[in-house]
Amino acid sequence: MASAEEVAREAERRDIRTRWLLSAPALLVIFFAATGPLLIVLVYSFLTPGPYGDVKWQFSPEAWISVFMERDIFDDTLSLAAAHVTIFWRSIKLAIITTIATLALGFPTAYFMATRSEKTRDLWLFLITIPFWTNLLIRTFAVLQIIRNEGLINTVLLKLGIISAPIQILFTDTAILIGMAYVYLPLMVLPIYASMEKLDFRLVEAGYDLYATRFQVLRRIIFPLVKPGVIAGSILVFIPALGAYVTPIVLGGGKNMMLSNLIELQFGQGRNWPLGSALSIAVMVIVMVALLAYVRNAGRSEVRHG
């Protein structure tokens, strides 16, 4: 006769098998809908480009070499692909600056919302989420109308006599930065607000009672407690900013190309699917490395202060 321990162990095994069977459909959907396409892109990155935008099933590491290197058309010598390096640097730089800009704007906005009454909070939260009701392309064109030479900013500055000629903002990195900061700002505000709403503001009052300055209260009380929201917001902004496509096309005018535009160019006019696939995987690797480094450092900081 089986002991009670064996019966319990067998029941646990049955429970685990049942859970795996119940989750199998969802796991299959995730595999084929998410992992499957990534595996296809990875395989394509090691193939030879075809003459009409397809691929030849011949193994070749040339696409990965071409991510940062280029061959001379005469003697096949390798040299640094300056254009690709510039685009990589511009994309990473703008994504980082966008994250910092949205944090600088989003943190005080979230603090302002969290310190209002409950009814007023709902109103501010509603106003923050309104941009999500509008298509990204429409929001980007709205920014274009503000920063173009005949737009709101230049018109006001000209009327006030501050400038004598319109400032060229459109079709620059600054225009792309402004557009991405506007588009992704709610993604920074909402996670920080969610963390700050749970903050016990009696701790802030206690800090002031102990003669802490406002900066000390912010640095030692508020920021450590809402740090998970800051990390979540930074991740939510950095990832789409690095892969932004619409905003650089509309506000950059095609002259200030970013990674997503370069990838689209390879799949479209360039007819080089392996290179486009290699660039896509490279972007994903950059995001993964950045996120792992960010989360790891944040975890160490929490352990050090915990």
Q: What is the CATH number of the domain that holds 135?
A: 1.10.3720.10
pTM of the predicted structure, to 2 decimals: 0.85
pLDDT tens string, the chain, 306 residues long: the values are: 557 777 788 888 888 888 888 888 888 888 888 788 889 999 999 999 988 878 999 999 999 999 999 888 787 888 999 989 999 999 999 999 999 999 999 999 999 999 888 888 888 988 898 888 888 999 999 999 999 999 999 999 999 999 889 999 999 999 999 999 999 999 999 999 999 988 888 888 899 888 888 889 988 999 898 998 998 899 999 999 998 999 999 998 877 889 999 999 999 888 899 999 999 999 999 888 878 877 776 666 555 555
Burial of 101 (0-12, 13-18, 19+ CB in 10 A): buried
Is the domain of 139 the same as that of 66? no
Give percent of the chain with pLDDT exceeding 70: 96
Q: Which residue range(s) make up the domain with 34?
A: 4-79
Q: How far apart are CA 94 and CA 115, in angstroms?
A: 31
Please name the residues in contact with 272: beta carbons below 8 A apart, sequence gap of 6 or more.
49, 63, 266
Does residue 120 lie within any of the structural domains? Answer: yes
Is the domain of 120 the same as that of 173? yes
Does residue 152 lie within any of the structural domains? Answer: yes
Q: Which of 79, 106, 128 is the C-terminal boundary of a domain?
A: 79
Does residue 241 lie within any of the structural domains? Answer: yes
Cβ atoms within 10 Å of 164's Cβ, excluding its own: 7
Does residue 84 lie within any of the structural domains? Answer: no
Is the domain of 74 the same as that of 94? no
Please name the residues in contact with 37: beta carbons below 8 A apart, sequence gap of 6 or more.
none
Q: Which of 59, 79, 99 is the C-terminal boundary of a domain?
A: 79
Q: How far apart are CA 234 and CA 190, in angstroms?
A: 11
Q: How far apart are CA 176 and CA 41, in angstroms?
A: 28
Is the domain of 180 the same as that of 246? yes
Is the domain of 126 the same as that of 187? yes
Q: Which of 13, 48, 79 is the C-terminal boundary of a domain?
A: 79
Please name the residues in contact with 112: beta carbons below 8 A apart, sequence gap of 6 or more.
124
Is the domain of 175 the same as that of 275? yes
Is the domain of 99 the same as that of 238? yes
Overall domain count for the chain: 2
Is the domain of 115 the same as that of 44? no
Q: Hey, which residues does 48 pair with through a beta bridge?
A: 56
Does residue 85 lie within any of the structural domains? Answer: no
